Amino acid sequence: MSKSPSSASGHHDTPVDTAPAQGGCPFGHQSADTAAGDAKASQNAPADATQWHDAQLDFSKSMSYGDYLSLDPILNAQHPRSTDHNEMLFIIQHQTSELWMKLALYELQAARSAVHNDELPPAFKMLARVSRILEQLVQAWSVLATMTPSEYSSMRPSLGSSSGFQSYQYRILEFMLGNKNAAMLKPHSHRPDLFQQVEAALNAPSFYDEVVRLLARRGFAIAPSRLERDWTQPTPHDATVEAAWLEVYRNPSQHWELYEMAEELVDLEDAFRQWRFRHVTTVERIIGFKQGTGGTNGAPYLRKMLDVVLFPELWHVRTLL
């Protein structure tokens, strides 16, 4: 559509036009002249409800933001079971955490394949992203911490026996990071589709197991029992793996990629530990030492989880340097 002289000067008489204003900046900003003309026009004429800064305003025939992002199902998936004001915060905090976990898993799975194929630079990029996701989840605890014990107590009955303990994505994340525990499959047995996914993560080598295989491919003498083992068991401490990391840290310039991998992994575990820590402190702040909705003894259970070490040799080797 061609631009009429009147709309080009900023006077929005009819006919209405959606083409870029002449003299306007290519990023959608108008020139000073045009803006001044607009200001004058807005004093004299009613605002034109069919045009705004050349933006597309009609989505009857094309995909909109909400369409692309499937916002209808997402924004209609909050169903508080009480009239308690604070239940919405509780639901959205968990739902957003699950969305970020989805991305973390997506990145970790791709990073594991990249390591398997010896493509380390893309793996570093993805690992860095997972660490930033975890850092963001650490910060997110501050929002939940605005909930007081009295506020939680009044919505607690709505939760029934549901608990983050039953998060299948969280369990897959733990398994992918090597914290294997077959007992954690059980909460998913009522959902065969989810059970299958969690079980597959239990049975598969963890991300770190792939990295240990990488060490072997790069010429380090890794014990055969570490390269093929029962993957359903948690990550063992292995002397040959620790010796490999020691060599890497003593001669970073000779093993730069492995050195970078080691630091990416420490970054990731550091962020994960902080997430666990903020969880337990937020929980203590809100429910004290009450039992969890999932049936554990609550804060003491979560404190015990602070002792989990995902990449044991990478922490031990520091003492030797």
* 287 labelled binding-site residue: no
Does the protein bind ligand HEM through residue 205 (CB under 6 A)? no
Helix (H) or strand (E) holding 126: helix 120-144
Q: Is 190 annotated as a binding residue?
A: no
Would you say 148 and 286 are in contact if contact means Cβ atoms under 8 Å apart?
yes
Q: Is 118 helix (H, G, I), strand (E, B) or coil?
A: coil
Residues 6 or more apart whose CB falls under 8 angstroms from that of 62 comprise 56
Minimum distance from residue 201 beta carbon to ligand HEM (Å): 14
The secondary structure of residue 60, as a DSSP letter, is S
280 is an interface residue for ligand HEM by CB under 6 A: no
What string of H, E and C letters represents the secondary structure of 131-191? HHHHHHHHHHHHHHCCCCHHHHHHHHHHHCCCCHHHCHHHHHHHHHCCCCCHHHHHHHCCC
Residues 129-158 that bind ligand HEM (CB under 6 A): 144, 147, 152
Binding residues among 301-320 for ligand HEM as defined by CB under 6 A: 301-302, 305
Stretch near ligand HEM under the rule CB under 6 A, chosen from 35-43, 113-121, 198-206, 296-304: 296-304
Is 164 among the residues that bind ligand HEM (CB under 6 A)?
yes
Binds ligand HEM by CB under 6 A, chosen from 30, 34, 167, 206: 167
229 is annotated as contributing to ligand binding: no
Count Cα neighbours of 198 within 13 Å in the Cβ-side half-sphere.
Answer: 24
Question: Measured from the CB atom, is 20 or 292 closer to ligand HEM?
Answer: 292
Is residue 164 classed exposed, middle or buried when 0-12, 13-18 and 19+ CB atoms within 10 A define those classes?
Answer: middle
Q: Is 222 annotated as a binding residue?
A: no
Residue with tokens 């597959």: 200
Position among 295, 300, 318, 320 found at the interface with ligand HEM (CB under 6 A):
295
- Give the type of residue at 139: Q
Per CB under 6 A, the segment of 1-9, 48-56, 92-100, 311-319 that binds ligand HEM is 92-100
Q: Please work out the total of residues on this chain that contact ligand HEM, with binding judged by CB under 6 A.
A: 24
Q: How many CB atoms lie within 10 A of CB 173?
A: 20
Annotated ligand binding at 94? The verdict is yes
Tell me which residues touch ligand HEM (CB under 6 A). Answer: 93-94, 97, 144, 147, 152, 163-165, 167, 170, 279, 283, 286-287, 292-296, 298, 301-302, 305
